[in-house]
Amino acid sequence: MTQSVTDTAPAQPGPTKTILRALAGETQAVPPVWMMRQAGRYLPEYKATRAKAGDFLSLCYTPELAAEVTLQPLRRYGFDAAILFADILLIGQALGSKLWFAEGEGPRMSTVTDRAAVAALRPAQDVHEVLAPIYETLRILTRELPRDTTLIGFAGAPWTVATYMTAGRGTPDQGPAHAFKDRDREGFSSLIDLLTEASIEYLSAQINAGAEVVKIFDSWAGSLKGADFDDFALKPAATIIAALKARHPGIPVIAFPREAGDRYIGFARATGADCVALDNSVSADWAAKNVQVDGCVQGNLAPRYLVEGGDGLISETRRIVQAFAKGPHIFNLGHGITPDANPENVHRMLEAIRG
Ligand code: CP3
């Protein structure tokens, strides 16, 4: 007598990697940990590889070197996750905007300020040609990562990428994007829709290349209020997450609506995100009560503690671990580690988390 495979197959085991367990909703005695911008200028080995690449964009688009800088912080610290080394603005370039990094100043782009300029961009399905080296970086990493390390892919959220594409640079108040939105809401929405579709394409290809989790960075979500937050932060995230989950059942998604304040409440439920990353403007105690009730949270040590070190670093790290101890938590910073951070302080932070 033959039995069908499904009759004899054992129940699907849960994930074994610490990050995936947290994202599946498991509370762990020691939270898994990684850091935003963990490959970056505070590390001498990063600066050396970046010098070898020549400039930041060449580093992003050279898979062997991008994989190398992704691995550097893992060798030093043994984080639970690796985040793909790339940048959120590459997708703008893949859509046809010009992108360059002014040394010591930050990103610069050609500007998209009206619907004619949006219409002149490439269709979402055409982003893969420019982004192919990014997928190759992920394929290298799937071979070279330690077995217990989770590989995270990412994209910028449509709103945040749009703020750079409209202004052509970083801005303190995202003024040009707000101006485009307020002048021609439909035209601006067409840019958000294009970026939403392109992000689905990009993240889906990252998952096919080996990303086990993806994160959506909405660094400027905090400047959207009311219906603008709904239309340009919440809905695009929900659309991207629904499409990814349809194409890749079970893929966990982390959303980072930075400085969303009260809008962190219910964000996971409204978007389908498996985890909400918290910036350090909200207190861990508040977030445990209001956000962690819906599932996993990530965060939220202020990056300045890794510059200052000392007792403040230890007590603040322990306080955050304690505040989130009753639910699923991935320890992280509230924003990227800064170039002036002391690499030794990262060891002290890990010691305070792992004991
Ligand atoms: O977290 C990681 O280590 C993964 C790689 C990564 C980078 N940027 C590398 C990078 C990720 C996930 C990003 C995201 C990113 N990029 C965001 C969203 C997160 C955030 O920080 O709010 C934004 C807004 C950008 C755009 C960007 N890239 C800016 C504004 C800058 C200049 C500011 C700066 O820190 O210099 C970058 C450059 C950049 N991206 C660097 C790195 C390591 C520094 C470049 C260098 O080596 O000179």
**Read out DSSP for 238-260?**
HHHHHHHHHHSTT--EEEEETT-
Q: Which of 197, 194, 193, 184 is nearest to 113 (CA)?
A: 184
Q: Is 170 strand, coil or helix?
A: coil
How far away, in angstroms, is 14 Cα from ligand 1 center?
A: 33
Task: Record the tokens describing residue 133, joined without a space.
Answer: 């080296």
Q: What is the pLDDT of residue 314?
A: 98
pLDDT bracket for residue 6 (50, 70, 90)? very low
Catalytic annotation present for 41: yes
How far away, in angstroms, is 254 Cα from ligand 1 center?
A: 17
Which of left, alpha, beta for 310 (phi over 0: left; psi -120 to 50: alpha)?
Answer: left
Q: Which of 88, 151, 215 to mutate to test the pocket of ligand 1 (most atoms within 8 A of CB)?
A: 88
**pLDDT tens digit string along 282-299?**
999 999 999 999 999 999
Do residues 20 and 252 make contact, with C-beta atoms less than 8 angstroms apart?
yes
Flag whether 194 is in a domain. Answer: yes
Classify residue 232 by its DSSP letter: I
When mean pLDDT is compared across 6-15, 54-63, 231-240, 342-351, the lowest value belongs to: 6-15
Number of domains in the chain: 1
CA 166 to chain CA centroid, Å, is: 21
Residue 265 β-bridge partners: none
Flag whether 5 is in a domain. Answer: no
Q: Rounded to the nearest 10 degrees, what angle do helices 185-208 and 128-144 cross at?
A: 40
Please list, in sequence order, all residues whose beta carbon lies within 8 angstroms of the beta carbon of residue 191, skipping any fewer than 6 positions away: 112, 118, 158, 162, 165, 166, 180
Do residues 207 and 251 make contact, with C-beta atoms less than 8 angstroms apart?
yes
Do residues 193 and 239 make contact, with C-beta atoms less than 8 angstroms apart?
no
Q: What is the pLDDT of residue 13?
A: 76
Catalytic residue among 21, 46, 50, 61, which?
50
Please give the single-letter amino acid code of residue 88. I
**pLDDT tens digit string along 297-347?**
999 999 999 999 999 999 999 999 999 999 999 999 999 999 999 999 999
How far away, in angstroms, is 37 Cα from ligand 1 center?
A: 7
Flag whether 2 is in a domain. Answer: no
Give nearest CA residue, ligand 1 atom 42.
40
Cα–Cα distances (Å) from 289 to 180, 227, 322, 327, 329, in that order, read 37, 25, 13, 10, 13
Q: Can you give the CATH number for the domain in which 256 is found? A: 3.20.20.210
Classify residue 8 by its DSSP letter: H
Flag whether 6 is in a domain. Answer: no
Structural domain range at position 308: 14-354
Catalytic residue among 21, 46, 87, 218, which?
87
Ligand 1: nearest atom to the Cα of 339:
35
pLDDT bracket for residue 2 (50, 70, 90)? very low
Flag whether 4 is in a domain. Answer: no
Catalytic annotation present for 135: no
**pLDDT tens digit string along 76-104?**
999 999 999 999 999 999 999 999 998 88
Do residues 34 and 346 make contact, with C-beta atoms less than 8 angstroms apart?
no
270 CB-side CA count, 13 A: 17
Flag whether 241 is in a domain. Answer: yes
Flag whether 167 is in a domain. Answer: yes
**pLDDT tens digit string along 194-231?**
999 999 999 999 999 999 999 999 999 999 999 999 99
Q: What is the pLDDT of residue 9?
A: 54
Do residues 82 and 142 make contact, with C-beta atoms less than 8 angstroms apart?
no
Q: What is the pLDDT of residue 176?
A: 98
For range 237-247, the mean pLDDT: 98
How far away, in angstroms, is 104 Cα from ligand 1 center?
A: 13
Q: What is the pLDDT of residue 7?
A: 47
Flag whether 59 is in a domain. Answer: yes
Apex 210 CA angle, 207 and 216, nearest 5: 45
Query: Using a 6 Å CB cutoff, which residues line ligand 1?
Result: 36-41, 50, 56, 83, 85-89, 106-107, 154, 156, 170, 217, 219, 336
